[in-house]
Amino acid sequence: MTVQAKETPNPNAIKFDSDRMIFEGNGSVSVMPGQTSDHSILNDLMSLNGVDNVFGFQNFITVNKKNDASWDELKQQVIDTIENHGY
C-alpha cells in the first residue's frame, strides 16, 4: 500500500493518491459537511477533526481541511485512514 500526498493550488486541499483503485467506474464521489456516503472510507475521513469535505475519483481522494486546521497534524491521519481501508 502506498499513499502519496500531493499539494494542490488550494492550500486547504491535498490530493492523496493510492497505487490501487479506490472507486470503480467513471463517476466521482464527494461528501460535504452534514452528508454521508455509501463509501465508508469517505465517512471515516469526514469524521477526522479538521476535515471540511472530501472528493474521490478512481485512485485518489482530495481532502479539504477547515481553515483553522493544520496539515501538520491532519496529513498523517488522512494517510493512516486511507491505508487502514486497504489502499
The predicted model gives 28-32 an average pLDDT of: 97
The predicted model gives 16-23 an average pLDDT of: 96
Contact in structure between 58 and 23 (CB atoms under 8 Å): yes
The predicted model gives 34-63 an average pLDDT of: 98
Picking from 42, 46, 16, 45, the residue whose alpha carbon sits closest to that of residue 33 is 46
Q: What are the pLDDT digits (tens) for 64-81? A: 999 999 999 999 999 999
Cell of 59: 485512485
pTM for the whole structure: 0.95
Cell of 64: 479539504
Contact in structure between 57 and 28 (CB atoms under 8 Å): yes
Domain parsing of the chain, residue ranges: 3-84
CATH placement of domain 3-84: 3.30.1370.70
Q: Residue 1: pLDDT above 80?
A: no
